[in-house]
Each structure stands twice: as structure tokens, then as C-alpha cells.
Structure 1
Amino acid sequence: MLDLFNTNLADDKSLKQLAKIVNTTERTLMRRAIKSLGMSLMEWKLRLRVVKATAMLNQGFSVERTALELGYSSSSAFISMFRKLMGVTPGEFRHQRKA
């Protein structure tokens, strides 16, 4: 199930769709995620996206390309999420890594 996220972070399946894929209920899927991950599936996916984003930014990908490859509709939505989880914008992150 978690492999679905690893292989395609841009896929925005709903919790209902994910539950159907793994043949369980939404509630059961939520409980299992909290128990095994310590967070919701959506929170885990956000964190996974940040990990992938930092790797892409370190490799020299642009903020816009990174955002689009991770499934964000705009670079501003990506920047907002990145700042919320990392405390800095992607540009600031890249600058800090070079310093």
C-alpha cells in the first residue's frame, strides 16, 4: 500500500479510493496508518513529498519542475507546503545547502 505513494507521489487518490484498492474500509485504513506510521496517510504522503523534494532540489531541479513532478498544481502551492513542513522556502533551502 505504501508503495503506491513511493512510486507515484503525484497520484492524489482519496482515502476512499485507497481503502478500496487494499480491500478495507476507510476507517480501518486510517487506524492502521496511525498505528503503524504514527500519522495519517495524507501526513505521511506530505512528508514523503518533502523528502523527495529535498533530493530533487539538491540535484538542481527547479522549484517549478519539482512541484509539478510531485503533483502540485502550482509552484506556489508547493512552496507553501514546503515552508510549512521545513520552516524555509525551497529557494532558501537550496541556498542553505550551498553555503
Structure 2
Amino acid sequence: STFKTWAKRLALSERSLARLMLRETGLTFGRWRQQLQLIIALRELASGVSVQNVAANLGYESVNAFITMFKKTMGSTPAHYFAERKTSAHLTDN
């Protein structure tokens, strides 16, 4: 959904919604939506959904665009991120 669509659904002007988002969350709508998408992506990837399907479900035009966003935000690609988590969990189990 676009920002304009959200504002219309909430019966607010785009400017009012922008101020409300920033006041209530400390984030712009774009940053808030990116954080939400990241939370959804992490949950889906952790449950075994493929990167391709997660990217498509979140509306990314390409898998590479999704991986770029993930890497920029999390510091590594989805594959490396979860490989690191597995290694850390394995090490702490011993």
C-alpha cells in the first residue's frame, strides 16, 4: 500500500498522517514500512520460506532488491544471517 492509500483509509491528510507517524513511532512512513517488512521477512525466512517467495510476498520487484535491502539493514545477506545464527546456536548448545 502507498502512503496516500493509508492516509485515505484513515481519513487523514497525508501531511497529518506523516506527523502522526513520526510522533507516535519516531519513524517516517517509509522507515516504518521497511521495519515492518523486515520483521515479516525474518519470521518467514526463519520458518523456511524461500528468499524468492519472501521477496515476492513483500512486493519487491526482484530478489536482488530484497537481498540488497536486507543486507543494508541487517549487515549480511539472508543466507549468511541465518547461517551465523545457526552457528551461534550450535556453539552455545555445547
1:1-99 to structure 2, matched below 5 A, reads 13-99=1-87
> Structure 1 stretches of 5 or more lacking a match?
1-12
Alpha carbon RMSD of aligned pairs, Å? 1.1
Measured in 1, the distance between the counterparts of 2:74 and 2:83 equals 14
Count of residues in correspondence between the two structures: 87
Structure with bigger gyration radius: 2
The two structures have a TM-score, normalised by structure 1, of: 0.81
TM superposition shift of 1:14: 2.0
Instruction: Give percent identity, aligned residues only.
Output: 37
> Structure 2 stretches of 5 or more lacking a match?
88-94
TM superposition shift of 1:81: 0.6
The two structures have a TM-score, normalised by structure 2, of: 0.85
TM superposition shift of 1:63: 0.9
The structure with higher relative contact order (CA 8 Å, sep 6+) is 1
Q: 4+ residue stretches of structure 1 with deviation over 2 A? A: none
